[in-house]
């Protein structure tokens, strides 16, 4: 850092909002559990809606349970500048994931209003519904709904308590019947900007408070169910067993080995959820269901790994006399940030006295879905030891302030200096 940046946002207000939101769904001292479409999620949405209105926005909840705040610009026909992220969390999550992107965006609008600046285009701040995907095993629900990308039977997906997404939406206060009358207007949104914690260790290793994102890895999510045959754990010889859990274990080990074939590649593979039936100490497992999360910024490499993994599943199943089914839950290609937005971020960071490192994102974000309808850019904020999806997740107030300041400067430049379409 060559100079001390002049901070234009209200730092104390921003961090008070972060603190206050973290009290909703609080677990332990620092953790958060605000599952999508839960009562805690609704309480959080209502609080954030209040802050949007205090910042001068008109706010509403759309049919997909997205919270949308809008600040009117001079030209209502100009493509919208959209800012935002999400406020839903993992069941054992932290205070900053998603939240700083929404609250930082509100602070951007509040700062524009407080300084008497009127944008050329409308600015919308969005808290998207169910980015995380942990409750119904498919994420980016709200942003895909808003952009017309929902898939068949999404409303029938169930959580672990047997509640469907349809039922959860209704309990939240939204009517899925309104989906039928909703049509996304192509070209309505010109640019999307998202502020987010890195959720990785790169920025900390580089001693950099903020970074510019170059692109988002494409996630492939699969759910595999393997079926064998239950038997007494004490009497069935090992050579005669059809143990579904043993087959699953071999696949987990194989996945771990596959994704490390290229040592310096950013490829990652994870089995994060597993259920066993009948789940008894002295019964050979008959059925196992588990999830696979495979990600890479290189689509060809990810596709090749998928082919190898499917071959492993087939061979293991044959070896142990198992049958299996595979359900594809998510399949997204890598998406790269717009070059002109990255250049704006570099220039505005330079005005602040920074030259942020540029890095890809392994986690997906709402930006991934937005990239299919408009140009997008992302700012990462350093987080302690790269920890996320954990109550120990931490980003310092100073780093969040710098990220929000860069978001403000870039959004202001787009909204005030480039009337009409921002596309390049």
State residue 6's pLDDT score: 87
Average pLDDT over residues 10-36: 97
Spatial neighbors of 165 by CB under 8 A, at least 6 apart, are 37, 136, 141, 154, 155, 156, 157, 158
- Known binding residues for Zn(2+) are 86, 97, 132, 196, 389
For residue range 311-362, what is the model confidence (pLDDT) as tens digits? 999 999 999 999 999 999 889 899 999 999 999 999 999 999 999 999 999 8
The pTM score is: 0.86
Average pLDDT over residues 201-224: 96
State residue 3's pLDDT score: 62
Strands (E), 5-134: 26-27, 31-32, 58-61, 67-71, 80-86, 123-128
Question: Does residue 308 register a pLDDT over 90?
Answer: yes
Average pLDDT over residues 81-105: 97
Query: How does the average pLDDT of the chain come out, rounded?
Result: 95
State residue 17's pLDDT score: 98
Residue 296, class by beta-carbon neighbours within 10 Å (0-12 exposed, 13-18 middle, 19+ buried)? buried
How far apart CA 166 and CA 52 sit, in angstroms, is 27
State residue 419's pLDDT score: 45
For residue range 183-202, what is the model confidence (pLDDT) as tens digits? 999 999 999 999 999 999 99
Question: Does residue 422 register a pLDDT over 70?
Answer: no
Q: What structural domains and CATH numbers belong to the chain?
A: 11-217+334-417 (3.40.630.10), 220-330 (3.30.70.360)
Average pLDDT over residues 117-145: 96
For residue range 377-420, what is the model confidence (pLDDT) as tens digits? 999 999 999 999 999 999 999 999 999 999 999 999 999 975 44
State residue 19's pLDDT score: 98
- Please state, for a pLDDT cut of 90, what percent of the chain lies above it: 92
DSSP string computed for 136-171: TT---HHHHHHTT-PPTTGGG-B-TTS-BHHHHHHH
How far apart CA 58 and CA 80 sit, in angstroms, is 15
- Known binding residues are 86, 97, 132, 196, 389
Peptide bond preceding 278 in cis form (omega within 30 of 0): yes
State residue 413's pLDDT score: 97
């Amino acid at each position: 850092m060559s100079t001390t940046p002049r901070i234009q946002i209200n730092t104390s207000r921003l961090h008070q909002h972060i603190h206050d939101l973290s009290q909703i769904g609080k677990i332990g001292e620092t953790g958060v559990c605000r599952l999508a479409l839960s009562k805690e999620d609704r309480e959080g949405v209502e609080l954030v809606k209040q802050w949007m209105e205090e910042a001068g926005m008109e706010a509403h909840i759309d049919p997909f349970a997205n919270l949308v705040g809008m600040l009117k610009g001079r030209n209502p026909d100009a493509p919208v500048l959209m800012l935002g992220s999400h406020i839903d969390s993992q069941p054992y999550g932290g205070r900053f994931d998603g939240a700083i992107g929404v609250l930082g965006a509100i602070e951007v609008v509040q700062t524009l209003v407080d300084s008497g600046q009127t944008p050329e285009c409308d600015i919308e701040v969005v808290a998207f519904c169910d980015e995380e995907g942990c409750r119904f095993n498919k994420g980016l629900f709200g942003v895909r709904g808003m952009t017309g990308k929902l898939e068949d039977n999404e409303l029938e997906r169930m959580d672990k308590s047997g509640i469907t997404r349809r039922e959860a939406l209704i309990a939240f206060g939204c009517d899925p019947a309104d989906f039928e009358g909703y049509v996304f207007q192509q070209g309505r949104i010109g640019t999307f900007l998202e502020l987010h914690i890195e959720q990785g260790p790169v920025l900390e290793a580089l001693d950099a408070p903020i970074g510019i994102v170059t692109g988002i890895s494409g996630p492939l999510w699969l759910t595999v169910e393997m079926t064998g045959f239950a038997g007494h754990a004490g009497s069935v010889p090992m050579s005669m067993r059809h143990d579904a859990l043993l087959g699953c274990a071999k696949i987990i080990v194989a996945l771990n080995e596959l994704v490390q074939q290229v040592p310096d590649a950013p490829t990652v593979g994870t089995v994060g959820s597993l259920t066993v039936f009948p789940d008894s100490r002295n019964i050979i497992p008959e059925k196992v269901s588990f999830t696979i999360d495979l990600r890479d910024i290189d689509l060809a490499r990810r596709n090749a790994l998928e082919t190898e993994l499917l071959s492993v599943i087939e061979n293991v199943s044959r070896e142990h006399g198992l049958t299996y089914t595979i359900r594809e839950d998510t399949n997204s290609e890598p998406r790269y940030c717009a070059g002109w937005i990255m250049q704006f971020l570099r220039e505005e960071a330079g005005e602040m006295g920074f030259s942020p490192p540029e890095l890809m994102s392994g986690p997906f974000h709402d930006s991934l879905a937005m990239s299919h309808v408009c140009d997008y850019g992302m700012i990462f904020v350093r987080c302690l030891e790269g920890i996320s999806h954990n109550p120990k997740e931490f980003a310092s107030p100073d780093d969040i302030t710098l990220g929000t300041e860069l978001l403000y400067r870039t959004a202001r430049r787009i909204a005030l200096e480039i009337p009409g379409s921002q596309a390049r």
